[in-house]
Structure 1
Amino acid sequence: MSLQNYFSSLARYHVWATHKLLDVNLKSLSDADWRRDCGLYFRSVHGTVNHLLVTDNIWYARFAEGHSPRIALNTELHAERAAACEALRHAVTRWSPWLATLPPERYDGQLAYTRNNGEQVSIPFAPALGHVFNHATHHRGQLTAALTGMVQPGPELDWVYLLQQEAKSP
């Protein structure tokens, strides 16, 4: 499998898992549980969803737009649940169309960007892109653990389930 196809699959998974978590599992939480401190790195489900949105926006800007927004990783972009979920639902859909524009040799290059502290960084492009999707998977896992701790059904978000679903489609 080429890197183009691999990252295309990861981008589809990013959308599928995020939408499933938002539309099925987090949708049924009470407002109190949505904001409850669950001991997550960003404390609550609300804080973690906002963090996912902040970081998706940062990394998309670095990769697709060539600039590095300087914004705290715990910034609350949306105070209201519906707005935060809708913004994240939209944000994750940007990756697939952008990836389709990349020439294969781009994956062998570097990604240069500026960290929040002003440090200039240049790292290998493909592993950095992998980080974007891996990071989101990590925090979706935290949200799944929070749901389980609240005695809510935990979603089955393994990538293999999407791959099996796609294999069944004509």
Structure 2
Amino acid sequence: MINVGYARMMARYNSWQNDQLIPLFLDMSQADLTKDRGAFFGSILSTANHILAADMLWLSRYDPSMESPIESFDKWLMLHKDARDWAADRQRVDGKISHWANSLREVDLLGDLHCVPAGGGPAYDLPKGQGVLQLFNHQTHHRGQIHAMLTAAGQSAPVTDIAFLPETA
């Protein structure tokens, strides 16, 4: 389904996207970041917190030594109350995602991943490759919502097209 090259490219894409969002968030007022904008998770910051917590959850499924996020799904939206704390944690987790992706071997993508849903419900098994797709697709989906909220708030939303992903040295 996928290979380690996909995971590494998407880890770079994730970092690039978040590196563009961080200065925007830091320049916005707390009121603008936390205003309910009618999105699935309400505000820009709540949506960003949701992405961060989900990333932590998916990473902990691949590497049990990594910390899992807050156990209660509804508390994910309040993971960080301001942009500065969110940005610091976001960069820390992005580093872990990059390290994980760069350490992957093809064999690491074989077999199933045991998943316990954060929102409750029965545990399930998922092919590891499909879990990697979920990790990165989830980020992209919800960052699209953030993009729309930033635009509606009069902000200059960053470039999201993967075709413009800068190459790394």
Normalised-by-shorter TM-score class: 0.7 to 0.9
Contact 1:54 1:73 in 2 (8 A): no
Offset at 1:139?
Answer: 1.1
1:145-160 matches, within 5 Å, as 145-160=148-163
Q: Report the RMSD for the aligned CA atoms in angstroms.
A: 2.0
Cα distance in 1 for partners of 2:87, 2:158 equals 17
TM-score by length of 1: 0.86
Contact 1:42 1:74 in 2 (8 A): no
TM-score by length of 2: 0.87
Matched residues, number: 164
1:9-158 matches, within 5 Å, as 9-23=9-23, 25-65=24-64, 70-75=71-76, 76-116=78-118, 117-158=120-161
Contact 2:25 2:83 in 1 (8 A): no
Distance 1:77 1:118, change over 3 A: same
Q: Structure 2: which 5+ residue stretches go unaligned?
A: none
Cα distance in 2 for partners of 1:89, 1:100 equals 16
Q: Is it true that 1:3 corresponds to 2:6 in the alignment?
A: no
Q: Structure 1: which 5+ residue stretches go unaligned?
A: none
Contact 1:112 1:122 in 2 (8 A): yes
Cα distance in 2 for partners of 1:142, 1:160 equals 20
Cα distance in 2 for partners of 1:142, 1:65 equals 30
Q: Which runs of 4+ in 1 moved over 2 A?
A: 25-28, 66-71, 99-103
Offset at 1:49?
Answer: 1.5
User: Percent identity of the aligned residues?
Assistant: 29
